[in-house]
Amino acid sequence: MNKTKGFIEAEISKAITQWEKDFLGRGSVSVKTDFLRDMIIVSLKGVLTPAEYAVCETKDGTLSIKKMRAELVESGVEDLKQIIFTLTGKETKSFHSDISTVTGERMMVFRLASDIESEFAK
């Protein structure tokens, strides 16, 4: 069976949600994955806890939460790269991530060694 773009995007979303649960202790509320040229863009909603929102009411609190969350994700980046390789067969050249302390969304961008989107163009 040839896997479709949508199927692989959904599999990545599921795998990253499972990684969050296993590695961070809880998963996000929703995850959406999209391919764009040589990038895999993952949008995660509902990442912050109510306590983290409360801490984010000050600038120092916001910086603290962003720093801690960044360190947590970076400490598991090799697992994330392995998930991408397992599901796509492609190496991750670089990984970028940020979190909005206003919306509680996290964006992850996996920059691949080659174009993934063109493999599904018809």
CATH numbers and ranges of domains, the chain:
5-112 (3.30.980)
List beta partners, residue 34: 41
pLDDT of residue 122: 60
Token reading at 71 = 């360190």
How does residue 1 score in pLDDT terms, banded at 50, 70 and 90?
very low
Q: Note if the pTM is more than 0.85.
A: yes
The per-residue pLDDT for range 27-52, each reduced to its tens digit, is 899 999 999 999 999 999 999 989 99
| Half-sphere CA count of 23, side-chain side, radius 13 A | 18
Going from the C-alpha of 25 to that of each of 20, 68, 115, the distances in angstroms are: 7, 14, 33
- Quote the CA–CA distance of 26 and 105 in Å, as a whole number: 14
